[in-house]
Amino acid sequence: MRGRWCGGCFVAWSQYDINYCVDAWVMRMNASGLPAWPHAVRLTNTPDDDIMYGLVSGPDGCCIVVSRSGDYSNYDICAAKICGSGTVVYDTTVCNAPQNQEYPAIVADGQGGAYFAWSDKRRNGSDCDIYAQHFNSAGTETWAHNGVPVIADTLYRYHLALALSEDGNLFVVWDDYRSNPWLDIYAQKLSPSGSLLWPDSGLAVCNADGDHGYPTVLPDNGNGLFIAWNDYRGPEEQVYATHLGPDGNPIAIPIGSLTAAAH
């Protein structure tokens, strides 16, 4: 957490209400670990299950949360911005396209806004594509309404991870089933305007035999990206990692050549 509340943090969660519906809440904690507000801020009060997926903080002393809401056949992606005083700047929908949108991920843009990406079934209700969106600090979408496609073809994609490069480009990394029956790791890089910078089909980070999933990411200080994932190419689960440069090529080491035993 940055800004004049440095030393504290925001906490977001989902919980059942008296009618057994799941709602989304936010609380700010001070540097002593005590609630900074008299009451938590309730973001939703709907008959649907509103599931919290993540939050980020910005230089303006506010946080942005992302959640999934709606009924079983038509989930949507929602976001809200809450400042240090408990004021809700916006509480809105990121994507309400037809069919289900699920498993959202979020990363701060460093200017009080955020980037979002999620799994999306709008094309046929079966295959999971990936779409992304950018909100500025006021909560205004800067890319196409309901998001821009990051990858759109057959089969499932989920378990997204996002990172922002030093030069303002968005990395999106995900689990991909195109090598059915194996689960692979793919990535894409988007410009600040939402244009794809790597191949339209995505960049294969790891497509060895066996399943590879649950990627985690961290940008380096040279516009590249570190990626680590769970890997089942051998008889035991392991952790593999790689370091990609700005062009998507591995830096110094072949893709997936670092390993460590998983615990």
Assigned domain for 196 exists: no
Assigned domain for 88 exists: yes
Assigned domain for 120 exists: yes
pLDDT score, position 155: 78
Average pLDDT over residues 170-178: 95
**Domain enclosing residue 120, as ranges:** 9-154
Residue 103 has pLDDT above 80, yes or no: yes
Assigned domain for 258 exists: no
Assigned domain for 186 exists: no
pLDDT score, position 261: 35
Q: Which residues contact 60 (CB under 8 A, 6 or more apart)?
A: 3, 83, 112, 137
pLDDT score, position 253: 59
Residue 208 has pLDDT above 50, yes or no: yes
Confidence of residue 125 (pLDDT cuts 50, 70, 90): confident
Assigned domain for 72 exists: yes
Domain count, the chain: 1
Assigned domain for 43 exists: yes
| CA distance to 32, 51, 71, 90, 160, per residue, from 101 (Å) | 38, 12, 11, 20, 13
Confidence of residue 28 (pLDDT cuts 50, 70, 90): very high
Average pLDDT over residues 160-164: 98
Closest CA to 81 of 37, 29, 140, 23: 140
Confidence of residue 5 (pLDDT cuts 50, 70, 90): low
Assigned domain for 80 exists: yes
Which of the two residues, 37 and 4, has the higher pLDDT score? 37
Residue 139 has pLDDT above 70, yes or no: yes
Residue 181 has pLDDT above 90, yes or no: no
